[in-house]
């Protein structure tokens, strides 16, 4: 290990061992009374041997996690241009609301009479989502975008099967799609038929039409698409897929670009998941939890998952089982999680929506799209984009501007880290060489975006000036230099294990 | 708008650089037919105070579980969460970061995921754990699909004492897959012959302990039978605190452990977000769903962590991935990890002992009421009581006594009127002697 200080620390940058290396026998961070003596009902199944957990006091735990946290980049610290992830500001009001005991400390199986406000909140959020998408129904259970995709595609399969149509095995998916789309289709028993893009970065409508047939269950289309462009022939795609009895699943990952500006319901969409952790700002939390409600067309609505909230004469009910004929949930494809939904995320998302209102949500899309186009236009002399603008809320660059410099997209990204920026999404979409998908979001000021643009342009110029090594050595100023991903995969170490006894270790 | 920094001047300047006359020009690719003219039919923007009033009023219509004695379980348990947990998870660097795709600036997240994987593996007694799933039921469903991939077989046998919502989630996940699901009638007293259902087509047997009705099991023999028959044993735990007292799935020879981690650090949240736990044996590593964090070194030779084995995952493998999961439950995994860190070896054991004692005391007190019978011989912190009448009615009436008395079994088994008198009752360290006294007094009154 090479460090230039005795401790390994560098100023405020403190090295932190694993919790398990800090632990000492007998220490704890929680005081509890002795358990009353009772006649055990454990039936002789008591756990034997040590579990192995570390004993640590509260101050040690606080320091441990605070020190670790300081090794993370965050939206609260700086612009986070991760394309397709919509890293926007996370209002703290939303955190406060989610922690109200009336939302946070409510059991999912409390009697209906004691959770009317919780059901009302779900119903209200559902109303906002239906209005925003222009769709007649919404399923609230999905825990994330991919879970939402599963929800939508299961409804599509259930709808076909309800008509006795079991021969629809094929799903059309653009080559530029998120990996979750083909993975979801496969998980629902479909085969994936990839559709190429056209020279404008949109789905090739002629290719869609050529692939149509009685075995097509539907299409999964991200719109705006993963190249940051709006699929301007979306209505024609919908008509084509409907003409053979298929359904249109829309991946709503990029919904932030069109919220308040356009409704998927007017584009012929049958199902669309909305990532509440993207468009509606529930915090990403280092990779989750998310929430992915799915808006449905009238054709798919009957197959929505359980449980569902219904309102009758001002009272709210939770439908937890398939209903009798004509009742809600009669044709539901079933339950896809243990309990009701991501309530904590629902509260945050509704607080966000109410804060913005109809006027603010529209402004969200406009500012997000404006900022992305501003970046694309500002960088056009120094970087290259595979497709001309205007783009939606993401500016996509490729690596042609790095041609012959010896600098790769990855090197460029790592140099951004030294400049204090989290890189944009790199090498996705796969169909663009050395892709850099850049999403500033609407919550950046112009000054912030200008600083970012200045860094991008300066790094691009530096790359072209021939100093490839500068990029290869990056990052220099992050908590870690480049990490060896190959070694991690070759010999997976996925947990801490106690060190070997000293006598052996000394060898 | 307090969250939107751009003003009219900024927008005009930016449009100038772009060379567009108006913002709407940037939206020209959207077909006219799909565009919204004017505004959505929704309220206008609102200040913090207004939003707080509206949402506060909705929250006030709910009875918070902690507002009085509460004895609900059935897969979601109320425990005391140390104050440090919520403070730490609200650190900006944890709360507002994303998936650690750039490991050099995400070591905080990666290190806690590595510690989370270690803690889950230790608690479950398994060799390797992943970096979390959405929640317990879907984690269990992913375990069943994984067993199908590992064994190349097509039948999953589910215990009749598996949580009915887990059973339903497994069925949903499997309904369009090659895996068929077989499950028996509810097993209230914990006795069923699962080994007898093994056969050449069985990919896995899914069991739970403590089971849905609270009974405890040692599945060691079943595990051996599964191995002999070439099937995997999947052990589900919905109350993770029980692992502080009970023989672990790994100690019973489980091949896959799927569980719910909500009890530690996360809270009730009306059902979500929770944190799905998933662990298995090393030999099945490459068939696991979800993200994995591994140890490595950086260019200076310093220890570092990184997401690894992603060739299993959707963003690389697409339709051939082991699962479609992407976003997991990172922040809840952090909350779980912090709570476990605070407890430590001694704390988790003590917490488990307190839970068991609270349940024993409650079971004894309820069992002494005329007409009330405790159905379990064994239990951890939850048990089934048989009432002289409808459990649903009793629970409703007990709300009037200020007590959340439990979960009527029939709420989860709608088509089983024969189970109408059964009530699931859970106790934890949060319940006081006064809570128990209130329960007993209330129940006597309600049954009188």
Same domain, A335 and A376: no
CB contact under 8 A, B429 and A128: no
CA distance to partner chain A, nearest, from residue B369 (Å): 19
Is A296 in a helix, a strand, or coil? strand
Band of pLDDT at residue A323, cut at 50, 70 and 90:
confident
Same domain, A98 and A244: yes
Whether residue B319 lies within 8 A of chain A, CB to CB, comes out as: yes
Is the predicted pLDDT of residue B326 greater than 50, yes or no? yes
| Distance in angstroms (rounded) separating the CA atoms of residues B391 and A144 | 35
Residue of B222, B270, B338, B383 to mutate for A, most A C-beta atoms under 10 A: B270
**Domain stops at, among B309, B339, B369:** B339
Of all residues in chain B, what percent carry a pLDDT higher than 70? 100
Same domain, A305 and A399: no
Band of pLDDT at residue A507, cut at 50, 70 and 90:
very low
Kind and range of the H or E element at A153?
Answer: helix A145-162
CB contact under 8 A, A51 and B35: no
* A136 assigned to some structural domain: yes
CA nearest to B84, candidates A29, A465, A190: A29
Same domain, A346 and A376: no
Same domain, B371 and B226: no
Give B-chain residues touching A68 at CB under 8 angstroms. Answer: 107-108, 111-112
* A475 assigned to some structural domain: yes
Q: What is the pLDDT of residues B28-82, one digit of tens each?
A: 999 999 999 999 999 999 999 999 999 999 999 999 999 999 999 999 999 999 9
By the 8 A CB rule, do A352 and A281 touch? yes
Same domain, A139 and A16: no
* A148 assigned to some structural domain: yes
Residue of A nearest to B55 (CA): A97
More confident site: B315 or B217: B217
* A71 assigned to some structural domain: no
N- to C-terminal Cα separation, chain A: 20
Name the residue range of residue A476's domain.
365-489
Same domain, B274 and B301: yes
User: What's phi and psi for A173, nearest 5 deg?
Assistant: -140, 125
CA distance to partner chain A, nearest, from residue B93 (Å): 5
* A357 assigned to some structural domain: no
| The token pair that represents A231 in the structure block | 């699929």
Q: What is the CATH number of the domain that holds A461?
A: 3.90.1150.10
Same domain, B87 and B75: no
CA distance to partner chain B, nearest, from residue A253 (Å): 12
CB contact under 8 A, A55 and B30: no
* B48 assigned to some structural domain: no
Other C-beta atoms within 10 Å of A494: how many? 24
Residue of B20, B44, B52, B59 to mutate for A, most A C-beta atoms under 10 A: B59
CB contact under 8 A, A266 and B33: yes
pLDDT of the residue at A2 = 57
Give B-chain residues touching A266 at CB under 8 angstroms. Answer: 33-34
CA distance to partner chain A, nearest, from residue B252 (Å): 11
CB contact under 8 A, B260 and A338: yes
Whether residue B51 lies within 8 A of chain A, CB to CB, comes out as: yes
CB contact under 8 A, A69 and B163: no
Distances (CA, A) of B353 to A28, A185, A243, A481: 16, 46, 63, 45
Same domain, B216 and B110: yes
Same domain, A347 and A375: no
Residues 78-97 of B with CB under 8 A from A: 78, 82, 84, 86-97
Same domain, B298 and B384: no
Same domain, A265 and A203: yes
Whether residue B189 lies within 8 A of chain A, CB to CB, comes out as: no
Same domain, A372 and A313: no
Residue of B nearest to A378 (CA): B17
pLDDT of the residue at A4 = 83
Give the one of A45, A143, A414 whose C-beta lies nearest to B218's C-beta.
A45
* B278 assigned to some structural domain: yes
Least confident range of A148-152, A342-346, B324-328: B324-328
CB contact under 8 A, A337 and B107: no
CB contact under 8 A, A117 and B218: no
Give B-chain residues touching A293 at CB under 8 angstroms. Answer: none
Is A170 in a helix, a strand, or coil? strand
Of all residues in chain B, what percent carry a pLDDT higher than 90? 99
Same domain, A346 and A382: no
Mean pLDDT in chain B?
A: 97
Name the residue range of residue B406's domain.
69-80+345-447
| Distance in angstroms (rounded) separating the CA atoms of residues B206 and B188 | 16
Is the predicted pLDDT of residue B209 greater than 80, yes or no? yes
Band of pLDDT at residue B169, cut at 50, 70 and 90:
very high
Same domain, A267 and A374: no
By the 8 A CB rule, do B325 and B142 touch? yes
Please name every residue paired with A317 in a beta bridge, in sequence order, or none if there are none. Answer: A310
CB contact under 8 A, A61 and B341: yes
CA distance to partner chain B, nearest, from residue A465 (Å): 25
pTM for the structure as a whole:
0.97
Same domain, B228 and B197: yes
* A69 assigned to some structural domain: no
CA nearest to A303, candidates A234, A177, A218: A218
Q: What is the CATH number of the domain that holds B108?
A: 3.40.640.10
* A219 assigned to some structural domain: yes
Same domain, B332 and B411: no
CB contact under 8 A, A66 and B91: yes
**Domain stops at, among A351, A381, A414:** A351
CB contact under 8 A, A371 and B6: yes
Residue of A17, A69, A258, A364 to mutate for B, most B C-beta atoms under 10 A: A69
- How would you classify the pairing of strands B373-374 and B202-208? unpaired
pLDDT of the residue at A502 = 66
Give B-chain residues touching A409 at CB under 8 angstroms. Answer: none
**Domain stops at, among B339, B359, B390:** B339
Q: What is the pLDDT of residues A427-473, one digit of tens each?
A: 999 999 999 999 999 999 999 999 999 999 999 999 999 999 999 99
Is the predicted pLDDT of residue B205 greater than 90, yes or no? yes
* B57 assigned to some structural domain: no
CA distance to partner chain B, nearest, from residue A232 (Å): 5
Same domain, B256 and B128: yes
Same domain, B299 and B443: no
Mean pLDDT in chain A?
A: 96
* B34 assigned to some structural domain: no
Same domain, B335 and B362: no
CB contact under 8 A, A179 and B20: no
* B254 assigned to some structural domain: yes
Please state the domain count of chain B.
2
Please state the domain count of chain A.
3
Is the predicted pLDDT of residue A503 greater than 80, yes or no? no
Same domain, B288 and B335: yes
Which residues are within 8 A (CB) of B166 and not within 5 positions of it... i.e. 6 or more apart? A338, B75, B136, B137, B140, B141, B206, B208, B236, B238
Give the one of A107, A121, A496 whose C-beta lies nearest to B58's C-beta.
A121
DSSP class per residue in B124-159: HT-SEE-S-BS-HHHHHHHHHHHHHHHH---EEEE-
CB contact under 8 A, B328 and A413: no
* B177 assigned to some structural domain: yes
Of all residues in chain A, what percent carry a pLDDT higher than 90? 94
Q: What is the CATH number of the domain that holds A264?
A: 3.40.640.10
Same domain, A400 and A329: no
CB contact under 8 A, B378 and A423: no
| Distance in angstroms (rounded) separating the CA atoms of residues A138 and A430 | 31
Residue of A nearest to B243 (CA): A47
Torsion angle, alpha carbons of B52, B58, B60, B66, to 10: -100
* B42 assigned to some structural domain: no
CA distance to partner chain B, nearest, from residue A464 (Å): 24
Q: What is the CATH number of the domain that holds B387?
A: 3.90.1150.10
Same domain, A397 and A340: no
**Domain stops at, among B288, B317, B339:** B339
Whether residue B308 lies within 8 A of chain A, CB to CB, comes out as: yes
Whether residue B368 lies within 8 A of chain A, CB to CB, comes out as: no
Same domain, B237 and B159: yes
Catalogue the E-assigned strands of B217-307.
232-237, 256-260, 276-280, 293-297, 303-307
* B270 assigned to some structural domain: yes
**What's the complex ipTM?**
0.98
Give B-chain residues touching A264 at CB under 8 angstroms. Answer: 34
């Amino acid at each position: 290990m090479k460090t230039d200080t005795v401790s390994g620390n560098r100023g405020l940058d403190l090295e932190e061992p694993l919790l398990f290396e800090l632990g000492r026998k007998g220490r704890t961070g929680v005081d509890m009374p002795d358990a009353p003596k009772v006649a055990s009902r454990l039936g002789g199944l008591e756990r034997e041997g040590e579990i192995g957990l570390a004993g640590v006091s509260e101050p040690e735990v606080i320091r441990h996690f605070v020190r670790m946290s300081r090794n993370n980049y965050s939206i609260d610290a700086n612009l986070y241009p991760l394309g397709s992830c919509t890293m926007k500001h996370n209002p703290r009001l939303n955190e406060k609301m989610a922690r109200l005991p009336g939302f946070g400390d409510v059991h999912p199986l409390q009697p209906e009479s004691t959770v009317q406000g919780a059901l009302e909140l779900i119903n209200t959020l559902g109303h906002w989502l239906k209005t925003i998408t222009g769709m007649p129904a919404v399923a609230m259970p999905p825990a994330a975008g991919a879970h939402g995709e599963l929800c939508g595609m299961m409804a599509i399969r259930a709808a076909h099967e309800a008509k006795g149509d079991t021969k629809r095995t094929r799903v059309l998916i653009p080559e530029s799609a998120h990996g979750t789309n083909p993975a979801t289709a496969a998980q629902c028993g479909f085969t994936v038929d990839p559709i190429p893009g056209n020279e404008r970065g949109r789905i090739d409508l002629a290719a869609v039409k050529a692939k149509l047939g009685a075995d097509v269950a539907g299409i999964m289309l991200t719109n705006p698409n993963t190249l940051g462009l709006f699929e301007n022939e979306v209505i024609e795609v919908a008509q084509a897929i409907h003409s053979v009895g298929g359904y249109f699943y829309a991946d709503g990952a990029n919904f932030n670009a069109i919220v308040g500006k356009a409704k998927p319901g007017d584009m012929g969409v049958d199902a669309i998941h909305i990532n509440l952790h993207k468009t509606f700002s529930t915090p990403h939390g280092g990779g989750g939890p998310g929430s992915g409600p799915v808006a449905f067309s009238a054709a798919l609505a009957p197959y929505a998952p359980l449980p569902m909230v219904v309102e009758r004469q001002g009272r709210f009910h939770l439908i937890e089982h398939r209903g009798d004929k004509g009742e809600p949930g009669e044709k539901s494809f079933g339950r896809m999680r243990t309990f009701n939904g991501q309530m904590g995320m629902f509260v945050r998302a509704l607080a966000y929506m109410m804060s913005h209102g109809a006027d603010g949500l529209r402004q969200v899309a406009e500012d997000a799209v404006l900022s992305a186009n501003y970046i694309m236009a500002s960088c056009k002399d120094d970087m290259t984009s595979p497709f001309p603008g205007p783009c939606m809320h993401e500016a996509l660059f490729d690596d042609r501007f790095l041609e012959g410099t010896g600098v790769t997209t990855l090197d460029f990204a790592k140099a951004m880290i030294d400049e204090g920026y989290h890189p944009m999404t790199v090498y996705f979409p796969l169909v663009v060489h050395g892709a850099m998908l850049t999403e500033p979001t609407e919550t950046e000021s112009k000054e912030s975006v200008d600083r970012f643009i200045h860094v991008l342009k300066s790094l691009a110029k530096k790359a072209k000036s021939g100093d490839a090594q500068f990029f290869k050595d990056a990052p220099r100023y992050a908590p870690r230099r480049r990490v060896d991903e190959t070694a991690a995969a070759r010999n997976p170490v996925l947990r801490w294990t106690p060190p070997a006894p000293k006598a052996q270790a000394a060898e | 708008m307090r969250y939107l920094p751009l003003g009219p001047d900024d927008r005009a300047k930016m449009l100038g650089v772009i060379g567009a006359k108006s913002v709407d020009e940037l939206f020209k690719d959207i077909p006219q037919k799909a565009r919204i003219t004017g505004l959505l039919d929704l309220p206008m923007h609102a200040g913090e105070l207004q939003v707080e009033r509206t949402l506060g009023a909705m929250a006030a219509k709910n009875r918070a579980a902690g507002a009085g004695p509460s004895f609900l379980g059935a897969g979601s348990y109320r425990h005391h969460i140390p104050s440090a947990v919520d403070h730490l998870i609200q650190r900006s660097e944890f709360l507002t970061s994303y998936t650690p795709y750039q490991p050099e600036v995400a070591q905080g997240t990666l290190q806690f995921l590595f510690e989370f994987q270690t803690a889950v593996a230790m608690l479950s007694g398994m060799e390797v754990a992943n970096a979390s799933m959405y929640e317990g039921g879907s984690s269990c469903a992913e375990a069943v699909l994984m067993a199908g991939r590992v064994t190349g077989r097509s039948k999953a046998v589910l215990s009749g004492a598996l949580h009915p919502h887990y059973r339903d989630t497994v069925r949903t996940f499997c309904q369009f897959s090659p895996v068929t699901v077989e499950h028996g009638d509810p097993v209230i007293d914990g006795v069923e012959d699962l080994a007898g259902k093994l056969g050449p087509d069985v990919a896995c047997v899914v069991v739970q302990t403590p089971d849905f009705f609270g009974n405890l099991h040692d599945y060691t023999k079943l595990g051996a039978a599964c191995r002999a028959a070439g099937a995997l044993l999947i052990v589900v735990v919905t109350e993770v605190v029980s692992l502080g007292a009970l023989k672990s799935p790994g100690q019973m020879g489980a091949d896959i452990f799927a569980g719910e981690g909500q009890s530690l650090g996360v809270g009730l949240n009306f059902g979500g977000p929770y944190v799905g736990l998933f662990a298995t044996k090393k030999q099945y590593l490459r068939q696991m769903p979800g993200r994995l964090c591994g140890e490595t070194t950086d260019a200076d030779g310093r220890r570092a962590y990184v997401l690894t084995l992603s060739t299993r995952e959707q963003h690389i493998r697409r339709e051939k991935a082991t699962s479609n999961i992407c976003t997991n439950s990172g922040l809840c995994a952090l909350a779980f990890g912090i709570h476990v860190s605070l407890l430590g070896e001694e704390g988790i054991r003590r917490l488990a002992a307190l839970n068991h004692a609270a349940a024993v005391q409650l079971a004894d007190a309820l069992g002494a009421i005329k007409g009330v019978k405790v159905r379990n011989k064994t239990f951890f912190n939850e048990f089934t009581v048989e009432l002289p009448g409808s459990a649903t009615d009793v629970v409703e009436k007990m709300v009037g006594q200020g007590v959340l008395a439990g979960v009527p079994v029939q709420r989860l088994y709608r088509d089983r009127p024969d189970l109408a008198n059964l009530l699931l009752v859970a106790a934890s360290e949060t319940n006081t002697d006064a809570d128990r006294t209130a329960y007993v007094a209330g129940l006597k009154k309600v049954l009188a």
